Structure 1
């Protein structure tokens, strides 16, 4: 009985030792290891800047196709890259709204209800709103166009 118990203990110890050796050789456990002393500073976590959101008042437009006309109600929030871009959007809000209304009125109701149509509309709005507002030389930097309400009726 003692010989059997001793054999089991030796087998378990050898198994644990072999597993630890295998993990060390194959690289398991390296994720928790301390970084080398000469690691660059760039690997440290950099805090992200707070997002800058600029909500626009909701839009209601009539969209048409060959058979009918429908009402499109959209609420949009813009995510800006920096504070100066947000100021441009706020200063030129009447022109911003005009550009959005014109782009929305060009849409077909059957197309804008598909995911592809919505993505195309996001890209079109982003491109339109990033164009310069005279007398500015450059337009605002918009990172995202977000729909906060979207209804086709």
Structure 2
């Protein structure tokens, strides 16, 4: 009789460890599923916030185009730092600016490197026509980034729309502007102009 209770006690212990493993596995699965759901909700919320911000930006600046997201990370093409005299007439001012171009296509990054002397020349021309007052404001920096984006692809035969020409057309120029707007929109292969250094003295 002593052997029967011992066998009965051994059986529940073995079954208890199996139950414990099953419970731990279930808890682990719940944690993983809950974590995955939380990540998905946060991504959806962030995407919704970004789309709302994008809608606000689109209302404020309807000319801005969103670049489609690609499957691979972007490629960054740093340009050597620029030091240039500014167009201020009263005082000699200069700027030292570090620029990096962001592109989605690595093959286009190689093409940029091949055209680098012409690109640097165009960027220097843009910078030398700016004044210190223009470069010190946020709007001035944003306009400079757009100008650099336009001029950095021009040596490769890509002509981007000049957004300043399209803004606030005069009534007398309305027919001319309408003809210009019918021109096909060209998407820039340079998705962003980033400043790594910006000193104005």
TM above 0.5, one fold? yes
Query: How far 1:50 moved relative to its partner?
Result: 1.1
Indicate which of 105, 109, 112 corresponds to 1:82: 105
TM-score calculated relative to the size of structure 2: 0.49
Query: How far 1:131 moved relative to its partner?
Result: 2.0
Corresponding residue number in structure 2 for 1:19: none
Q: Which segments of 5 or more consecutive residues in structure 1 lack a partner in the other structure? A: 1-31, 33-45
Corresponding residue number in structure 1 for 2:118: 95
Q: CA RMSD in A?
A: 2.0
SS state at 2:73 partner? coil
Equivalent positions of 1:13-24 (< 5 A) are: none
Corresponding residue number in structure 2 for 1:54: 77
SS state at 2:90 partner? coil
After superposition, the C-alpha distances for 1:31-75 in whole angstroms (9 at most, x for unaligned) are x5xxxxxxxxxxxxx984212000000000000223212110000
The number of residue pairs the alignment matches comes to 106
SS state at 2:127 partner? helix
Q: Which has the higher strand share?
A: 1
Q: Which segments of 5 or more consecutive residues in structure 2 lack a partner in the other structure? A: 1-36, 38-68, 160-187
Corresponding residue number in structure 2 for 1:150: 198
Q: Which has the higher helix share?
A: 2
TM-score calculated relative to the size of structure 1: 0.63
Corresponding residue number in structure 2 for 1:114: 137
Aligned structure 1 segments of 4 or more residues deviating by more than 6 angstroms? none
SS state at 1:64 partner? coil
